[in-house]
Chain A
Amino acid sequence: MPKNTMQKITFILNNENIFADVKPNSTLLDFIRKKERLTGTKEVCKEGDCGACSVLIGELENGIVRYKNVTSCIYPIANAEGKHVVTIEGLNQNSLNKIQEFYVGENAAQCGFCTPGFIVSTAEYFLNNNERNVEKVYDSISGNICRCTGYGSIKRAAEKLVADVPEAPEDYGERLKFLIEKKIIPEYFLSIKDKLQNILQTKKIDADGAKGKTIVAGGTDLFVQRADEMLNEEGYFVKNFAKKFISEENGSVILSGATTFEDFFNSEIIKTAIPNIHKAFKLIASQAVRNSATLAGNIVNASPIGDMTIILLALNAKLILKGKREREIALKDFYLDYKKVDKANDEIIEKIIFEKPGRGFRFNFEKVSKRTHLDIASVNTAFAAFADDGIIRSATLSAGGIAPIPKVLEEATEFLSGKEINNALLNEVVEIANSVISPISDVRGSADYKRLLLGQLIKAHFIELFSDRLNVGEAI
C-alpha cells in the first residue's frame, strides 16, 4: 500500500504565510489552484511544457531573496519549503502593473488563458536582468506556449517594455527597490526577506537519509512520467539539503549534483571552460524547466537522449557517488542498459567532475528534433576535441537517441586521435559511428533516419569546428 504521509510545510505565498499539511509529492499548482483557489495560475499541459502554470520562486541566498520562474505543475510542493512563491495574484497591484500595461496596450492577451503565465515569466526577466535586451525576455518566456496570438503582439509588448524600463541596478537588493518603483513588482517584496529568515530560523530542515524514498531532484521528468504514483509516495528532496556549487580545483571543474541546468549555463567557470557552450543552451529546455532540472537528475534519469548527459559524456565526466561509502565512476560506465544505472538505492550523485580543458580545445553540441526549440531530440551529439596544426590530438564523441543508453562512441573516438582533419577523415568517422549504433524506430523518427541523422550531425560538428580544413561543399 502506498504510504500517505502528510508533511508540514511553511512558505510564503504572495504576501501571506502558509502553514499547511501537504502530501509532499503533490504539486505546487494543485495547492495554488485547488487549496488556495488562486485561479490566475492556469493548467494546460501538466508536464512543464507550456508555462501556463508559471510562478516565481524566491529563495534566500546569502541574505538576498533571488527569484526564478518554475512551472508549478511539476514542482513538488515540498520544494516550496522556506521559499517565497509568487503567482499572478502576487504581482497584481492596485492598477495594472507595468508588464500588464504593455500586454494590454499591445493586445498580447487574446483568449487570455496563457497570459498570466507570460506575465510571470516576463517578471522573472526583470528580476534577473539589469540590462535591457529583448532577446533575454524571449528566453524568459520561451517556455510559454500561446495558441492564439502567434506571439507577434507578445513580442511587441516585450520590445516596448525593454524600451520603457531603464536599466536597473546590478545589486539585487537595489534592483528590487527599483522594480517596485517602476511598478513591476509590488511593494511587499521588500518585506519577504525578513519573513523568510524567520521561517528558516524557526524550522530546521531535516536532512535525513534517503532510505526507501524516491529521490526527487528537480522532478521535471519524474512528475511527467509518474505523477499519480508519486502522489502517494514519500518524497525525499535532494534540493533541501544538497548544496549547489560549481567550482574549480586543481585543473578540474567540480559541479554539485544539484546544479540546475540554468546554473550550469550561466556559470562563468563553465563558459570559460567550454567554448561554444551557449549554442547548446539555446537548444535545451525552457528557462522554467532549466531552473528546476538538475544535472544529477538528468544523469540518473538515464534517458537515452538526455541533453546534459550527452554534453558531460563528451567532456569525459566522472561522478562521485555517495552512499555508505563514497566512490567514483566514469559517467560513460554509469549506464548499464535502458534506464538502468550503476547506482545503489541509497547512493546519490554528489559531484560531477571533469578536467578543465586547456589550449586547442573545441566543443560543439548538435541536436535535431521535430521542433527546433523546447523539444526532445531525435538524435543529439556532442563533440569535444583537442586539435592543432590540423591534427586531432584527442577527441570524444558522444551521442544520444541511437542506442538504449546515452553513449560515448568509443570506436570513433579512438579512431580520431592523431588523425589529420580532412574530408576523408570525416567520411570515415561517420562510417565508424554508423557501424556501432543501434537506433530504434519511435515517435521521434525511424531507425534509418536516426542513422542518417547522426552522420549529418557529425558532419555538422566538423563544419562548425574545422571548416577551414574541409571542403565544405563536398562534405555535405
Chain B
Amino acid sequence: MSDKIVKSKFFFEEDFIETIGEVSSKEYKSLPPNKKLKYVGKPLNRKDAPVKASGKAKFTFDIELPHMVYARTLRSPHPNAIIKDIDTLHARQVPGVFAILHTFNMSAFNGGKIEWYGNSFLFDPHVRYVGDEIACVAAKDEETAERALKLIDVKYEILDYEIDAKKSMNSKLKIHPDGNVRRGKPFEYERGSVKDGFDEADEIIEDEFSTQVAVHNPTEPHCSVADWNKDKLTIYDSTQAVFRVRNMIADALDTPKDSVRIIKEYMGGGFGGKLEAGKYSVMAALLAKKLKRPVKILNDRREQNIALGNRPDSVQKLKIGVKTDGTITALNHYAYAAIGAYPSGGGCSWPLRTLYKCDNVRTEEYSVYTNAGRARAFRAPGNVQGTFGLESLLDEAAEKIGMDPLEFRVKNFVDFDQVGGKPYTSKMLIEAYKIGAKKIGWENRNKIPGGGKGYVKRGVGMASQIWWGGGGPPAHVRLELDSNGKIVAFAGSQDLGTGTYTFVAQVIGEILEIAPDNIDVVLGDTDRVPYGPSSGGSTTAPSISPAARDAAERMKEKLISNAAALWNVESENVGFENGTVFMKNDKSKKLSAKDIVAQLDDKKISALGSREANPDGYSVQTFGAQFAEVEVDTLTGNVRVLKVVAVHDVGRILNGKTLENQFHGGIIMGIGFALTEEQIRDEYTGKILNDNFHDYKVPTIKETPEIEVFILGEGDMKANNMGVKGIGEPAMIPTPAAIANAVYNAIGKRIKSLPITPDKIITALYDEA
C-alpha cells in the first residue's frame, strides 16, 4: 500500500537511530494556516479527559485479572557485591507464596541474559548498585510477597564501590569488564581548530558547571501485568513504547515477536523513563508462564527512585573565546556524567555544538559507569544539562565584553546545522528573542547584577533552546470505516497523556470533514495498531500526525473512487464535502460514507497511511527562548520564580490546550530541576537518601509562576505534510538556564551548580571566604 522504503536516521532520546520502513510518497497540497482550518489547531477538549476525571480510566496499575498473582522484587542493599548464596527456604514457607526467581534457578530460562543491561543477566550474580535485582517473589497478594522478600537469605561477598563519576573514571575497580568509561573512550567531536579559535579571541572565559541527578517520578509507577494464553503472551505495560517493548521482551524470551502482545491504554506519565522493557516485565512474564496465572508486578515509589532511571549528573568544563565585537571564535566542552551501573548515555554537548555560530568547536564527553541506579532518557536528555552550562557561560562572556546578553546571542545566530552542514527547515530564534524580551520587560532588568534595592531582589534572565523534534518514518495509521459510517483510527503510537488520542482525531477530522468526537482512536496495542515509533524525543506528533493525514487523504480518495464506480463516472467528476461525496455536475446526487460502505460487499473501507520521508537536504529542529523573572530573598536564600515567558519555533499547533499542558508541564519540571529536585547519594553507603516524595521535592501548585507561551509561525511546512514538530522537550530545555541567569541578575553571584537551593545562595552571599 505504501509507496517506497527508506532508511532514515534521527535522534531518539540519547542517540541517533536508523530505521528502515515504508513511507508515503504522496504529495498533498500545503495545509493552510490553522485559522483557515476547522479542527486542527483548535483547543478541543481531550478525548480521554472524561474517563480520567471520573477515575474510570484503567491504568496498568489498576488492572486486575482473574486468578492474578502479585510479584515484588528483592533488591540489593549493597552497592557492589557478588552473590554467593541465596536461601529461599523460609520465604517459600510463607503461606501464599507461589514462586521465587533468582540467579541460581534461572538455568531453564537461557540463563536470563538481558541484552540491554550490557549483556548482564536478569538476576546477575554480581549486583552493582543499591537496588539491583536479586530475586522476585510471586504470591497471593503484595503483602505476602513483601513479607517473603524479607525472609530470603542472601550471602554476599561485599566489594568496594564507586558512586562518583570522576573517581570511577580513574579507579581500578571495574564495574564492567571493559572498564568504567562506557565504550572505553570519550565521545569526541571537533570542527575547525579550537587552538586557532582561542588564539584569535580577545577574551577567553573558562568555567565549570555541574548539574544534579534528577528522577522522572511519573505519578504512575513502572508496572506490568503478564498473561499467557497457550504460547501467546500479553503484557499490559505502563510504557512509552509498545512496539519496542514487544521486541525487547520477545528477544529476552527468545520467542517470535508476533507471539507477544503489548497493551497500554492509559498511563500515568513517563518522561523518558518508560522507553524500554523493564526487567520487571520479563520477570512477570516468566512467573506467569511458570504459574499459568496472570502476574502483576509493581514497583513502588522507592523503587522508582533507586532503580528505574534518572537524569545523570554532569560536570562540565567550558571555555569560550570571544572578540570584543561579540564574535565567538572558539568553544570547548569537556564533560563527564555518572550513568550508573548499566549502559546509558551521559553526553550533554549537543547544544554547544549547534546553537550558536562558531567555526572552532571541540567537545569531549565521558559516560562513566558507577555503582548507582542506571540513567535513562529523561525529558531532553543531555540538553537540559548542557544548555545550563552553555547559557550560563554565554552570559559570563557577554558581561566580560560589556555586551547585552541578548545582543550577544543575536550576533552569533546561525541558520544552518553546523554539524550536519544542512540548512534548517525553520529557525525563528531572532523573533523569539524579540517577543520574549518585550513580554518579560528585558530593558528593566538590573543593569548591574545584584544592584536592586531591598533584601528581596529581583532579576531577569533568559536562555535559548535547540532540540530535534522532527520525528520521522516508519509510522503508520490505519483507518477503518464501517457500515454504520463509524470511523476508527488505529495509530501506531501510544498516548502518555500528551494528547495523541485527541490530535489523531483532529487531523483525520480535518481532512474528512468529520467532527473529531465521532472518530474513535485506538492506540497502544501491538496486535491492533500498525507499527509506529516509541513516544520519546518529542517525535510522536511529527511522526504520527502526517501519517494520520496520509491515511485520511487516502480514505477520501477511496470514497471518491468508490462513489465514482457506483455512479459509473470518472473520479474527476466526483467531489467531497462535509464527509459526503457528490456528483460535480449534479450536486443533488450525494452519498454519505455510510451509504457507500453499505453498497460494498466488504461492508468496510480501510486505508493505511504512512509518514513520508523527512525532507532531503534539510535539518529539522525545534528552537525557542525562555525568559524568567525571579525574586531572591537574600535573608533566607529562597528563590521564587515570578514569571516565565516561553517563545518557541515548534511547528504547527495541533491543539492549543494540549500544547499548554506540555509547555506548562515542561517549564514547571524545569523549575523543579533548577530549584528543588535532586537525588542525594550517600558516598558512605552508596544508598539514596531521598528515595520518596517526602524528600525528593517536585514542584507543587504553590511554586507555579505566571507563564506565557507564544508559538511562532503557522507551521513548518518544509518538515512534513502537517508542518508539525514536537514540543515535549523544547518546553523544558531552557527553563533551568534562564532561571540561573535570572538569579545571577538578581544577586550578582553566579550559582554554578544546580539545583539552586537556599544554602547555595546564602553561602554565595555571606560565606564566600
Residues on A facing B (Cβ under 8 Å): 34, 37, 39-47, 49-50, 52, 87-89, 92, 96, 100, 103-116, 119, 138, 141-155, 224, 228, 231, 366, 368, 370-376, 378, 443, 445-446, 448-449, 452-453, 456-457, 459-460, 463, 472-473, 476
Contact = CB atoms under 8 A, between A and B. Distances in A.
Q: 4 shortest A-B CB distances, which residue pairs?
A: A40-B55, A111-B497, A150-B664, A112-B52
A149 B658 CA distance: 9
Interface string B32-51: 00000000000101101111
A375 B676 CA distance: 11
Contacts of B56: 40, 92
Given A100-B53, A152-B704, A453-B758, 19 more contacts: A44-B301, A47-B692, A104-B53, A107-B46, A107-B49, A109-B48, A109-B53, A111-B497, A112-B48, A112-B52, A113-B219, A113-B497, A142-B702, A148-B661, A371-B675, A372-B640, A373-B700, A376-B694, A443-B680
Interface residues of B, number: 80
A463 B666 CA distance: 37
Interface in B696-718: 697-704, 707
Contacts, number: 241
Contacts of A52: 219
B50 A96 contact: yes
Chain B residues touching A, majority SS: loop
A63 B584 CA distance: 74
Contacts of B43: 107
Given A107-B46, A372-B638, A149 B53 contact: no
Contacts of B499: 110
B352 interface: no
Contact of B694 (A45, A141, A457): A45
Given A153-B661, A372-B638, A374-B700, A104 B219 contact: no
B578 interface: no
A163 to B, nearest CB: 18
A47 B53 contact: no
Given A96-B53, A145-B700, A104 B46 contact: yes
Given A150-B668, A231-B143, A46 B55 contact: no
B455 interface: yes
A145 B217 CA distance: 11
Interface centre among A88, A119, A146 (most CB of B within 10 A): A146
26 contacts: A37-B64, A43-B61, A45-B692, A47-B692, A47-B694, A50-B693, A52-B219, A96-B53, A104-B45, A104-B49, A107-B661, A111-B220, A112-B57, A112-B497, A113-B497, A115-B53, A116-B54, A146-B701, A150-B668, A150-B704, A151-B668, A368-B636, A371-B675, A371-B703, A443-B689, A449-B763
A6 B267 CA distance: 36
Interface in B478-512: 496-499
Given A110-B498, A142-B701, A145-B700, A49 B693 contact: yes
A113 B221 CA distance: 10
Contacts of B636: 366, 368, 453, 456-457, 460
Nearest to B217: A147
B423 interface: no
Interface of B: 43, 45-46, 48-59, 61-62, 64, 141, 143, 146, 217-221, 266-269, 271, 300-301, 455, 496-499, 634-638, 640, 657-658, 660-661, 663-669, 675-676, 680, 689-690, 692-695, 697-704, 707, 757-759, 762-763, 766-767
A265 B597 CA distance: 67
Contacts of A43: 61
Contact of B658 (A107, A373, A463): A107
Given A45-B694, A150-B666, A452-B763, A368 B300 contact: no
B700 A371 contact: yes
B757 A370 contact: yes
Nearest to B49: A104
A152 B269 contact: no
Nearest to B656: A107
Contacts of B638: 368, 372
Contacts of B663: 150
Contacts of B217: 147
B266 A153 contact: no
Contacts of B661: 107, 110, 148-150, 152-153
Nearest to B636: A368
Given A370-B676, A453-B636, A39 B694 contact: no
A449 B498 contact: no
Contacts of A151: 664, 668, 701, 704
Nearest to B271: A147
A137 to B, nearest CB: 10
A167 B675 CA distance: 38
Given A40-B54, A89-B55, A96-B54, A49 B758 contact: no
Contacts of A112: 48-49, 51-53, 57, 266, 268, 497
Given A40-B54, A45-B693, A111 B269 contact: yes
Contacts of A373: 700, 702-703
